[in-house]
Amino acid sequence: MNSGNISNEEQKNSKLENIKSAYIIKKIIGYMNDYKALKIIKYNKNIQKRLFFNLNTYKDYSYTKTPIEIVIKLANNEYVKFINISNDDMKYYHIYFNNSNEEIKRTFLKDNEKVDCIKIKIDPPIQSFKKLFYNCTSIISIKKFYRNNITDMSQMFFGCTSLKELIISSFNSDNVTDMSEMFFLCIH
């Protein structure tokens, strides 16, 4: 097969396979886009062996390097804030209403806006969920929530008085160092 038939991705993979040092491979992958790095690691058995990756390690790595998705159901549709995000961090949050592909750049509902479901994708640089849903009183359900690089969940659901359902099995708190007042005043 000549090089005209080989994709750029395959050429990069073959170059990485020729590198003997796991340290150098890790450094190169560290400079790549997270999705490209995941793709290279997932499909290249030689690189997996050099980096001592197995399926469980790959899953842990991908949970850290891929966005998480939060699905929120609301109790009512009046003007309400459904998440607390600083302006600096807004670029890492991608918000969609009612299964739409159109990204919303706000953290509240307008009066009488009909929203049945809110999906929020959060990029990997976010490592703290401190006060993420602080006093978001209309949230009744949160699902699909997994990332193993979160370190702070303090006051995350503080004052979420309507919260009835939270899929705990999707939480990974292995690296969380602060869960203080996480469910304070969740009276439901």
pLDDT at 1: 39
Mean local confidence (pLDDT), 103-128: 86
Q: How far is it, in rounded angstroms, from Cα 12 to Cα 121?
A: 29
pLDDT at 184: 93
Q: Are strands 139-143 and 165-166 parallel, antiparallel or unpaired?
A: parallel
pLDDT at 13: 58
Question: Which of 38, 47, 39, 40 is closest to 65 using CA atoms?
Answer: 38
Give percent of the chain with pLDDT exceeding 90: 19
pLDDT at 3: 43
Q: Check if the beta carbon of residue 34 is closer than 8 Å to that of residue 65.
A: yes
Give the list of residues 6+ apart from residue 68 with CB closer than 8 angstroms, or none.
121, 122, 144, 145, 146, 147
**The token pair that represents 30 in the structure block:** 């560290």
Arithmetic mean of pLDDT over the chain: 78
Q: Check if the beta carbon of residue 98 is closer than 8 Å to that of residue 117.
A: yes
Tell me the domain boundaries of the chain: 3-65, 67-188
46-50, 92-96, 106-110, 126-130: the lowest-pLDDT one: 46-50
**The token pair that represents 27 in the structure block:** 């450094």
Please name the amino acid found at residue 41.
Answer: I
pLDDT band at 178 (very low <50, low <70, confident <90, very high): very high
Give the list of residues 6+ apart from residue 151 with CB closer than 8 angstroms, or none.
127, 128, 175, 176, 177, 178
